[in-house]
Structure 1
Amino acid sequence: MYLVRVRVRNFRGIAYGEVHLNGHTAFIGDNNAGKSTLLEAVDLVLGPERLSRRPVIDEHDFYAGTYVDPDKNEVVPIQIEVVVAGLSDEQLRHFRDHIEWWDSQAKTLLVGAPPEGTDAPHVGAAIRVFFNGWYDVEEDDFAGDTFYATPEMPDGSYLRFSAPDKRKCGFLYLRTLRTGARALSLERGSLLDVILRLKETRLTMWEDLLDQLRALPVGETEDIGELLVAVQDAVRHYVPSDWAEQPHMRVSDLTRDMLRRTLTVFMGTGAKRPDGSVYSAPYQHQGTGTINTLVLALLSIIAELKQSVIFAMEEPEIALPPHTQKRIINSLRQKSAQAIFTSHSPYVLEEFDPVQVVVLKRMAGVMTGVSATYPPAVKPKAYRTEFKARFCEALLARYVLVLEGRTEFDALPAAARRLAELDPTRFKSLENLGVAIVDARGETNVAPLGAFFRSLGKIVFAVFDKQSHEALATITASVDHAYESATKGFENLVLYGVSEVALRSYAAVVVAGGDWPQHLAAWTPTPATPLADLQAALSSYFSWAKGGGDAGDLLASCPTASDMPEYVRTTLAAIKNVIEPPPLPALPPLPPQLAGVPPLPEAAAESPPLAPAYGKFQPSPPQPLA
């Protein structure tokens, strides 16, 4: 069993969204793209214990806080719909009255499917379930429930999708903040509770514990005994003797719920007592990485006990070294029917095929998800090696800057940092702007890479050398913002665009540091070297040291912003203004002859109608998304 489609309407930051999944999935995207919101939405539908939380939803769970429509006198519901496919034989029997058919090629449900349509290899049985949350007018509260989308009852209602039904789906959701309470406590819905339920040992365990605690002597010292007798004697002055007979102490109120909240897992700390025994402490006192590892280990146990499990987890890499991240990801994928992650770790993401990496984007409340593909000019065999070095940061960012070659890759970020130091009002570093940088490794790759990242919903900038009219048109059509240099070769642009003062200062530092190569000893720069000869010598030096970041060092050493090439300054300022537009200029003052003239009277704006009393709002009956 695995999720294939999630649709969300009017939930938190999502006015509407539709995302498709392809087996094991990693959700990536910029901060506030909606990754956590999407998993929270799925949890509202499939989480067995989620609806037991009170309130199920509140005002802030509605998009823009809108849960009533005064114009229509209607309640505005939250609607979340999930399609689950890949049903096992047991699940087919359990959900037999609610089966629909999912076409994995068309990524849609068959409508009125004929028998022959369901026999296609790309068509399989699925169930469609949904959550509706709404403002309850009569109770002045918020309510929500889950339902099967089919069949629709004669009165227009839908059958409830209950907690026992949800357990058949095996959905488990772990949020980012993992203190261990969700896993290592015995409260309802915890991972230990799930394991006990799967082993069907909870009844005998709780009864045995209660029997042991009832027999456990507590507070039987002479002082406490005398105190309890005094309490009993005092009470008998006011009530009959059988009302407060034989007061005594127990470790708790001896109920299952109290035990669930009280029992705590202790673990060895590694510290030894004087008698040689290992000191144990509550699990909360363990390190963050240890707690995370324990949580993931419990997930593995659940997967082994329950053959069909859907794991959803945020940031599995928290406080774990890279090799552990990889091991855990692969283990959970092997043992589960579907594992869904959100992540910002290249070590996690490189374990997924590109089609399993879904890039989420949210614009004006509309969420979309696009599966990544192999980048152009990168073979599948080389993808994993190239991924961390070139593409991971760009996949995770909102803005991408495609640079023609290694020299630009080293030089422009260094120039941006230096300009941000010299003139912070006009410039910012590319890191501060949230721009990821990609080395295209050749001018012919700029347009394909720009189109690739643009297809993933990124805002793409490109910096490149002078091009032919045809090549320039291709690049411009492939990116959002193109910046063409007036020269051929970025090294030449730097050498002939940097001021003479900055050039001589940089050359002196290179020579003094012993970095000038022996084969160029005859052209070693000196204070008396003519400017043209100095530029030629540094050109030879840059060619010899190509890929070493020397052009970036030259730009980073410029004493003032005006010492840098004008193209570098204007390009970096333009990128900054796209991401952070400057404030609009103030309106000019009125001419003197109009300064004392009163303004013309404005037409009275119609005041919006007052919202009617909540009692007049019509409820929204639960229904799946149209």
Structure 2
Amino acid sequence: MRLSKVEISNHSRIQDLNLALRRHAVIVGANDVGKSSILRMLNLLLGTSTSGLYQALKPSDLRDREQPLVVNALWTDLTEENRRPFPSEISIGDDHVTEYLWVQMRVEADSEDEETVTIRRWFPESGHERTPNREQLEEFGWRYLRATRGASIMDGAHSPVRTLLAAADLGSNEEGLTALLDQFNEKLAGNESVSELLDRVATHLSRSMPRTVSQDDFSVRSVTDPSSDVLQDVTIFLNRGDDQVSLTEQSDGVRQLMSMTLFDLAEGTANVLAIDEPEIHLHPTSQRTAADLLSGDGNQKIIVTHSPYILHRFEPSEVVAVDRHGRCHQVGEAKLSKIEKVRAHWWSPRLLEALTARFVILVEGDADRVIVTAVAENLGIDLDRLGAVVVELDGADKFRNVFPLLGPDGFGPTLLGLVDQNESGSWVNAFKGKRHTVVDKKVFISDVDLEDEYTRALSGPIAAKALVDGGFCREQGILQAAGVATLDEITPEAIAQFCRDKGKVDAASCIAEALTPERAGKIGSVTRLLRILDDLSQQ
């Protein structure tokens, strides 16, 4: 069984969401936008006891105290084994064929006590109001690795080791192992030293307890109950030479990798693995390795991450981008085929920042990015503060691959584009509006290109001196190329052509160093773009 749909409404830190969970789900976004809260609410719905719910949920979790906080999850792809614990809870879809399991949690502020809530967790279409029992919660197979995990990650009833061993089938050996445990407990209980120890315990406790206790009130036995689980007290060790080292004694990174690996192996007992920041403690190489593991087939993964290496290993259809207002964006079903066609061309680690930005400025290449960033700095426009990121496309023709991913039919940040005049047609047309509603509002066109604009802004001689001072070229070399005797005679057109011929990026870096607020303001297309960006940020 797998989660196919999640809905959350009226949560204090999460905008109302309705997500389609495809094979996996990767949630990305800036800090403090509610990503981890999504995992927390799912963990409360699917993996927490009733008593745990009342300990975890407070009236402050409700955005509007007059309305309930509601969390819905829809399970599909049920197997015969999945159906057994849910004899009256599974529903049939409108097509009279599809099966699904709907579980809901409803949290309301207590009308008589402002510090408490009432919680109802149930199956809305079951015909009864019983809360999910322990067996049903176990069948969900929800496992959650928090971002605040430490050495205890390998311990506990729902640890990766316990989860993996729970899936082991001992076959005919189980009866023999049970007999050995019974024999061990009998020998232990009959040991004279143990009996004397219990007598001392009873005598000591009788002094502080309201009633007298005796040796017969106690027993000593293995914590493993042979009648239920002979592997209950078994764990896994790493062999290091002649020593056996507990997994809890490994480094943070090793424990992290081991926990994800073991959970991934435990299909059936770990149907859904939720991980908050799987990249914690991992070197980038290990992040890529872990991402290969997590993105494969097997149990379903719901991941919150800031790692571009992990994002890159998942399909665009599996990504949920949370914007700065806490709103979730994912590619709609109708647009998935179009997105998949461009995925191979433009699905890279550098897209993570663009997916989570408020504004994305698309430019043709690195040289344009250098100039845009420098002009913004000189005009006093802080791109980071505005939530804007500049993405270079490695050529104007790549725009057609990126626009479906980041445009209104994709993840939908506000897009602004800077492009040379000769390449501008396809950029303008992509926004599907009248030219006057796109040019200098969404697409900003350099005349004729950015090299022409910034050399005119500085003047030929000043631009030439900036290239020489920056070590881009020698004075004699640029004079010879321009066919003049002194720098004062060099025209902007000659310098622009020199920059194109000898290296746009290095030239742009030298020009950026020579910019002043006055000169930056004369680079028309970039200035117009940044002024519009600044205006949009105020809205």
Return the TM-score normalized by structure 2: 0.76
Structure 1 residue corresponding to 2:131, chosen from 150, 160, 167? 160
| CA offset digits 1:377-424 (Å, max 9, x no partner) | x984x744632266343123232112245532332124334x2xxx7x
1:81 aligns with 2:72: yes
Q: How much does 1:147 deviate?
A: 0.6
CA distance in 1, matches of 2:439, 2:465: 37
Aligned to 1:340: 302
Aligned to 2:278: 316
Aligned to 1:509: 469
1:148 aligns with 2:123: yes
CA contact (8 A) 1:184 1:191 kept: yes
Aligned to 2:495: 538
CA contact (8 A) 1:34 1:362 kept: no
Aligned to 2:518: 562
Describe the shift of the 1:130–1:53 C-alpha distance in structure 2 as closer, same or farther (beyond 3 A): closer
CA contact (8 A) 2:295 2:314 kept: no
SS in 1 for 2:412: coil
Aligned to 1:591: none
SS in 1 for 2:331: strand
Gaps of 5+ in 1: 70-75, 103-109, 111-116, 257-262, 271-275, 582-626
Q: Which amino acid aligns with 1:189?
A: H
Q: How much does 1:26 deviate?
A: 1.8
Deviates more, 1:333-342 or 1:48-57: 48-57
Mapping 1:36-115, distance limit 5 Å: 36-49=36-49, 52=52, 54-63=54-63, 66-67=64-65, 69=66, 76-102=67-93, 110=94
Q: How much does 1:148 deviate?
A: 0.8
Structure 2 residue corresponding to 1:302, chosen from 242, 266, 271? 266
| CA offset digits 1:15-55 (Å, max 9, x no partner) | 52211111222222343443222222222221154753551
Aligned to 1:494: 454
CA contact (8 A) 2:320 2:329 kept: no
CA distance in 2, matches of 1:232, 1:509: 90
1:438 aligns with 2:391: yes
Q: Which amino acid aligns with 1:160?
A: T
CA contact (8 A) 2:406 2:412 kept: yes
1:118 aligns with 2:78: no
SS in 1 for 2:266: helix
Describe the shift of the 1:253–1:514 C-alpha distance in structure 2 as closer, same or farther (beyond 3 A): same
Q: Which amino acid aligns with 2:510?
A: D
SS in 1 for 2:16: strand
Mapping 1:604-623, distance limit 5 Å: none
1:329 aligns with 2:291: yes
Describe the shift of the 1:476–1:33 C-alpha distance in structure 2 as closer, same or farther (beyond 3 A): farther
CA contact (8 A) 2:360 2:389 kept: yes
Q: How much does 1:93 deviate?
A: 3.8
| CA offset digits 1:329-361 (Å, max 9, x no partner) | 343454633222222323222222222223344
| CA offset digits 1:184-234 (Å, max 9, x no partner) | 11x34333443454458999699899889986979x9xxx9xxx89x979x
CA contact (8 A) 1:375 1:452 kept: no
CA distance in 2, matches of 1:374, 1:31: 27
Aligned to 1:17: 17
Q: How much does 1:488 deviate?
A: 1.6
SS in 2 for 1:548: helix
Describe the shift of the 1:409–1:48 C-alpha distance in structure 2 as closer, same or farther (beyond 3 A): same
CA contact (8 A) 1:48 1:167 kept: no
CA contact (8 A) 1:498 1:565 kept: no
CA distance in 1, matches of 2:285, 2:441: 39
Mapping 1:20-419, distance limit 5 Å: 20-49=20-49, 52=52, 54-63=54-63, 66-67=64-65, 69=66, 76-102=67-93, 110=94, 117-119=95-97, 124-137=98-111, 141-153=116-128, 158-181=129-152, 183-185=153-155, 187-199=156-168, 243=212, 286-303=250-267, 306=268, 309-334=271-296, 336-361=298-323, 363=325, 367=328, 369-371=330-332, 380=341, 383-384=343-344, 386-388=346-348, 391-417=351-377, 419=378
CA distance in 1, matches of 2:239, 2:247: 9
- Give me the identity figure in percent: 19
CA distance in 1, matches of 2:483, 2:256: 58
Q: Which amino acid aligns with 2:252?
A: T
| CA offset digits 1:83-112 (Å, max 9, x no partner) | 10000112234334222245xxxxxxx2xx
CA contact (8 A) 2:316 2:331 kept: no
CA contact (8 A) 2:460 2:491 kept: no
SS in 1 for 2:124: strand
1:529 aligns with 2:515: no
State how many pairs are aligned. 510
Q: How much does 1:452 deviate?
A: 4.8
Q: Which amino acid aligns with 1:169?
A: F
SS in 1 for 2:17: strand
Aligned to 2:419: 464
SS in 2 for 1:316: coil
SS in 2 for 1:564: helix
CA distance in 2, matches of 1:211, 1:415: 82
SS in 1 for 2:348: helix
> Which of the two has higher C-alpha Rg?
1
CA distance in 1, matches of 2:364, 2:262: 48
Q: Over the residues paired in the alignment, what is the CA RMSD in angstroms?
A: 4.8
SS in 2 for 1:97: coil
Q: Which amino acid aligns with 1:97?
A: S
Gaps of 5+ in 2: 225-232
Describe the shift of the 1:523–1:131 C-alpha distance in structure 2 as closer, same or farther (beyond 3 A): same
SS in 1 for 2:370: helix
Q: Which amino acid aligns with 2:255?
A: I
Return the TM-score normalized by structure 1: 0.67
Q: How much does 1:445 deviate?
A: 6.5
Describe the shift of the 1:196–1:465 C-alpha distance in structure 2 as closer, same or farther (beyond 3 A): closer
Q: How much does 1:312 deviate?
A: 1.7
SS in 2 for 1:329: helix
Deviates more, 1:82-91 or 1:309-318: 309-318
CA contact (8 A) 1:134 1:142 kept: yes
SS in 1 for 2:465: helix
CA distance in 2, matches of 1:485, 1:367: 32
CA distance in 2, matches of 1:147, 1:549: 63
CA distance in 2, matches of 1:192, 1:161: 25
Describe the shift of the 1:167–1:362 C-alpha distance in structure 2 as closer, same or farther (beyond 3 A): farther
Q: How much does 1:269 deviate?
A: 11
CA distance in 2, matches of 1:556, 1:206: 77
CA distance in 2, matches of 1:313, 1:36: 9
CA contact (8 A) 1:48 1:163 kept: no
Larger RCO, structures 1/2 (Cα 8 Å, 6+ apart): 1
Q: Which amino acid aligns with 1:572?
A: L
Deviates more, 1:444-453 or 1:86-95: 444-453
SS in 1 for 2:125: strand
Deviates more, 1:38-47 or 1:515-524: 515-524
CA distance in 2, matches of 1:481, 1:459: 11
